[in-house]
Amino acid sequence: MSCLHTGKVLSEGEGDKWCIESQAVLRHNRPVKKGAIVIELENVAYSYGGGELLSEVSLKLAPGSFHFLTGPSGAGKTTLMKLCYGALLPTAGYVRLFGADVRGLDRDDIAIVRRRVGVVHQDVKFLDHLAVSDNISLPLTVSGRAEDAAGGDLDELMNWVGLTNRADALPPELSGGERQRAALARAVIMSPDVVLADEPTGNVDWEMSQRLLRLLIELNKMGKTVLIATHDLGLIRATKAHVQARVLRISNRRIQLAGADL
């Protein structure tokens, strides 16, 4: 098993050792205690434009857990994902990120929290004037750790996602699959505790979706909490063959554990 540590892919054994120590070495971040909940939603409701999108949603993401979030288009998957990293505030209920009530966090606190939550969107956005490698190392840059991207760590991360030969390309020059892999690399370069992926395979072919899935499973095996929003049941089935994943479904504004059909 290989393991990712601030952009560095460690060899087998080394990786296992780091996975145990990973939380302790996160700079500026409070380690997540074993058994603690990294993200918790309690009776959360979210309304927009006079309509209620989510109601009485409760969810707990434990460290190292793997979750899928399914539901029809417009059910509120993206909204729930945004609630999970502080991009939206609940209109009722509580959202706790690493134990802290999101309503008590100011914008800078939210920014710090986001360094511990890697986010991948279907419609991934980059800084189009910067090279792919600069975009991937952007989280390090904005957190004052640009020097961590030097010394080959970034190269190893780019190799991990298979973008070594595209390091100097500009984002508009990338294919859909390359963009998603670049987004994944950007999401994990800070060695976050949680990876949230919103329809990460929505714009890519089957082969690429399997490749992305393998990367996400690999991250989970490193101890990362993974939450994937998708309506691709094939993706869910393929994942469950490798890791123990909970499947949650949003239906009628509420969240429920999906049935055995998955």
Partner 1 sequence: MKGFLASLRGVFVGDRQADRVVPPSGFTAQLTLFAAGAMAFLAVFALALSLAAGRLADRWGEELARSATIRIVAPLDQRAAQTDAALRILETTRGVASARALSDEEQQALLAPWFGPDLALDALPVPRLIEVIETQDGLDPAGLRLRLAAEVPGAVLDDHARWRAPLVRAAARLRLLGWISIVLITAAVAAMITLAAHAALAANAQVITVLRLVGATDDYIAQAFIRRFTLRALFGAAAGMMLGVLAVVLLPDAGEAGTFLTGLGFQGWHWLVPLVVPLLSGAVAFFATGTAARRRLKELT
How far apart (Å, rounded) are the C-alpha atoms in residues 189 and 115?
9
- Residue with token string 């990362």: 224
Q: Is the distance from CB of 212 to CB of 222 less than 8 angstroms?
A: no
Which CB atom, from 82 or from 249, has the smaller least distance to partner 1? 82
Q: Is the distance from CB of 244 to CB of 68 less than 8 angstroms?
A: no
**Which amino acid is residue 51, in one-letter code?**
G
Work out the burial of residue 24: count CB atoms within 10 Å of its CB; fewer than 13 is exposed, 13-18 middle, 19 or more buried.
Answer: exposed
How far apart (Å, rounded) are the C-alpha atoms in residues 15 and 10?
5
Which CB atom, from 10 or from 97, has the smaller least distance to partner 1? 97
Distance of CA 180 to the CA centre of its chain: 12
User: Shortest Cβ distance from residue 143 to partner 1 (Å)?
Assistant: 6
Which CB atom, from 10 or from 188, has the smaller least distance to partner 1? 188
Residue among 255, 259, 192 nearest 226 (CA): 192
Which CB atom, from 1 or from 142, has the smaller least distance to partner 1? 142
Site residues, partner 1 (CB under 8 A):
87, 107-108, 111-115, 119, 125-130, 134, 138-139, 141-143, 146, 186, 190
User: Shortest Cβ distance from residue 29 to partner 1 (Å)?
Assistant: 11
User: Shortest Cβ distance from residue 72 to partner 1 (Å)?
Assistant: 26
User: Shortest Cβ distance from residue 176 to partner 1 (Å)?
Assistant: 18
User: Shortest Cβ distance from residue 166 to partner 1 (Å)?
Assistant: 18
Name the helix (H) or strand (E) containing 68.
strand 66-70
User: Shortest Cβ distance from residue 256 to partner 1 (Å)?
Assistant: 29
Which CB atom, from 67 or from 121, has the smaller least distance to partner 1? 121
Q: Is the distance from CB of 236 to CB of 245 less than 8 angstroms?
A: yes
> How is residue 240 written in tokens?
């469950």
Which CB atom, from 121 or from 249, has the smaller least distance to partner 1? 121
Q: Is the distance from CB of 190 to CB of 116 less than 8 angstroms?
A: yes
